Amino acid sequence: MAFPLRNDSLDRLPQGVDAPPFDRTKVTAGIAHIGVGAFHRAHLAIYTHHTLSDPAMHTWGILGINLLEHDRPLAEAFKAQQGLYSVSEYDPRGERKTHVVGAMVDYLYAPDDGTRVLDRLADPAIRIVSLTITEGGYLIDEHGTFRLDDETVAYDLKHPDTPKGVFGFIVGALEKRRAAGVDAFTVMSCDNLRHNGAQAKRAVLAFAKARSDELADWIDREVDFPNAMVDRITPATTSTVRDELNAATGLDDQAPVVCEDFIQWVLEDKFRHGRPSWEKHGVQIVDDVSPYEDAKIRLLNGSHQMLAYPAFLAGHRRVDIAVKDPLFNAYLTAFLDDDAGVWLKSLPGMDLGPYKKKLLDRFSNASIADQLDRLCLDGGSKIPGFLGPTITACLEEGRDARRVAFLLATFDRYVRVGKDDNGETYPLREPNAMRLVQPLIDSGSKDTLIESVELVGPLPASDKRFRRQYDIYVESLEKQGVRKTLENLDSLVD
């Protein structure tokens, strides 16, 4: 018998499945989270779930909000399950721990009830609005400018009472609070991008200024935007994964999450209107998160991008299998040690030597079966942020960056050719940066990517080596494929 997830079933869950350690009927929402995807449910919601075991924290439950039409099946699952779902954490040995997470005590789906979403965000009980809207969701272009020409942004500016996008809802709610003399909320980004709080602030202020200078000035004075570094590998839950999880747990859960057992959150303490005591459950509270962001983004996220396109084009589909391939393991190890890691220093609670080794162990976790196509998704948004700083540092210091040149050559092939080395086609998924990627396709030229300041950054005029390496690797990929090119990475350019 499969156990359905509802409040009245929490006292009879299957063996090995933990129930929430608190009475959900006594918890109210103090956090509104926009973008209730798998990562949020395995990260912020987990930390908050554990924090709610303290009765003094019971005003810090989560109101979940989704804005996008493709989230409708998830919305239906949350409504049917009263906001409950399970998280199954697998360690590298395959051992599983499953929790039924009860932190999301309310849920709204904006396409069906946008007015209600706006009203709840304006409610003084909500003191934090947190975000997982993806790297490209902040709409900051290569010049650091918020894209007011975005279709949803343009709509929301014309229809402030019926917004569709995240910034329309945030600024609309803040405007309501300002008019009512109510304190602002803190805006807390939980996305994987450098200076995520500062990016959120830039986007919110630009949108607000397009509505009113006075409103933008008020938000600038009254709203905190803490930066954070977040980390947990959380694959997408396909229907097959859902069925496998339910078979393993004995639950009938329409929105389960699978993730690794590793979890990390480093957070700046900028919350003038209060926050949960997350630090009691493992969150590292710091004055400046920047060095932690830099280390994680350059190493973990950078390695994900370095692996994604060459391994996928070579025919691999799972991250763990690709990392166990000796050719790709050696390539990633060299990137961590000689390209990205050379610019970083160890930090309190983050010794970079063991951290780099742990990364490859985490990538090798077969139990979560992370998919390379997930890593390939939205490369036009990810490559500038995750690899751009390493490219810039290497070239400005005159350091050889051939592995990154090879990666760019594989991304060029992934985008322009559309077939792997076995002739298998795949869809190109660039939901947030197609405007940057489309020119690569339209031009039909390998030069378009390497000359794109938006995607690669400005290459020093004095550095001809990197460009030559890229050109050689593009030609080799066409003639020999990924494996042969990677095997001969050094000899091709020496």
DSSP letters, 418-433, are -B-TTS-B-----TTT
Measured CA to CA in angstroms, residue 41 lies from 94, 217, 385 at distances of 21, 33, 24
What does the angle CA 307 – CA 311 – CA 316 come to, to the nearest 5 degrees?
Answer: 130
Query: Could you read off the pLDDT of 250-277 as tens digits, one per residue?
Result: 999 999 999 999 999 999 999 999 999 9
Nearest-CA neighbor of 317 among 388, 237, 266, 375?
375
What average pLDDT score do residues 221-244 get?
95
pLDDT value of residue 15: 93
251 and 304, same domain (yes or no):
no
* Token pair listed for 31: 């956090």
Which pLDDT belongs to residue 223?
Answer: 98
Residue 127 lies in a domain: yes
**CATH number for the domain that contains residue 228:** 3.40.50.720
Check pLDDT > 70 for residue 456.
yes
Residues 91 and 232 in one domain: yes
Q: What is the pLDDT of residues 290-305, one digit of tens each?
A: 999 999 999 999 999 9
Number of folded domains that form the chain: 2
> pLDDT digit string (tens) for 393-442?
999 898 999 999 999 999 999 999 999 999 999 999 998 889 999 999 99
In this structure, what token pair is assigned to residue 269? Answer: 């303490």
Confidence of residue 461 (pLDDT cuts 50, 70, 90): low
Residue type, 301: N
Verify that 13 and 133 share a domain, yes or no: yes
* Dist CA 321 CA 344 (whole Å): 28
Reduced to 3 states (helix: H, G, I; strand: E, B; else coil), residue 17 is: strand
Q: Is there a domain that residue 450 lies in? A: yes
Owning domain of residue 343: 290-487
Rounded mean pLDDT of the chain? 95
Instruction: Report the chain's C-alpha Rg in angstroms.
Output: 23
pLDDT at 373: 95
- From the list 101, 49, 46, the residue with the least C-alpha distance to 261 is 46
Instruction: Name the residue among 414, 392, 417, 416 with its Cα closest to residue 340.
Output: 392
pLDDT given for residue 462 in this prediction:
62
pLDDT given at position 463: 73
Segment 309-327 shows an average pLDDT of 98
Q: Which residues contact 324 (CB under 8 A, 6 or more apart)?
A: 364
Total Cβ atoms within 10 A of residue 354 = 10
- The answer as to whether 325 is a domain residue is yes
- The CATH number covering residue 323 comes to 1.10.1040.10
Q: How far apart are CA 117 and CA 64, in angstroms?
A: 10
Same domain, 237 and 309: no
Do 159 and 227 fall into the same domain? yes
- Rounded CA-CA distance 325/378 in Å is 25
What one-character-per-residue DSSP string does 54-67 give? SGGGTT-EEEEEE-
Residues 422 and 408 both lie in one domain: yes
Domain final residue pick, 286, 306, 331: 286
423 CB-contact burial (10 Å; exposed 0-12 / middle 13-18 / buried 19+): exposed
CA 156 from centroid of its chain's CA atoms: 24
Model pTM score = 0.89
- State whether the Cα torsion 160-161-162-166 is positive or negative: positive
Mean pLDDT value of segment 233-243: 93
The answer to whether residue 457 scores a pLDDT higher than 90 is no
Domain membership of residue 492 (yes or no) is no
Query: Percent of the chain beyond pLDDT 90?
Result: 90
Listed in sequence order, the residues at least 6 apart from 222 whose beta carbon sits closer than 8 Å to its beta carbon are 178, 183, 184
Q: What is the pLDDT of residues 355-396, one digit of tens each?
A: 999 999 999 999 998 999 999 999 999 999 999 999 999 998
Higher pLDDT, 396 or 41: 41
Half-sphere exposure of 392 (CA within 13 A, CB side): 14
95 in a structural domain: yes
Percent pLDDT > 70 in the chain is: 99
**Residue whose structure tokens are 């987990």:** 46
229, 80: one domain: yes
Domain boundary among 251, 266, 286: 286
pLDDT at 1: 67
Q: What backbone phi and psi angles, to 5 degrees, belong to 20?
A: -55, 135
pLDDT at 142 over 80: no
Q: What does the pLDDT average to over 331-355?
A: 92
Q: Check residue 459 and give its pLDDT.
A: 78
Q: Give the per-residue pLDDT at 246.
A: 96
- SS3 for 218-261 is HHHHHCCCCCEEEECCCCCCCHHHHHHHHHHHCEECCCCEEEEC
99 and 229 share a domain?
yes
The whole-number pLDDT of residue 206 equals: 98
Q: What is the pLDDT of residue 460?
A: 73
233 & 337 share domain: no
Are 39 and 112 in a shared domain?
Answer: yes
Confidence check: pLDDT of 234 > 70: yes
Is 402 part of a structural domain of the chain? yes
pLDDT at 253: 97
Residue 494 in domain: no
Q: Among 270, 286, 302, where does a domain finish? A: 286
Judge if 328 and 224 occupy the same domain: no
Give pLDDT, residue 141. Answer: 85
Query: What integer is the mean pLDDT of 102-124?
Result: 98
Instruction: Answer yes or no: do 123 and 263 share one domain.
Output: yes
Instruction: Give pLDDT tens digits for 118-131.
Output: 999 999 999 999 99
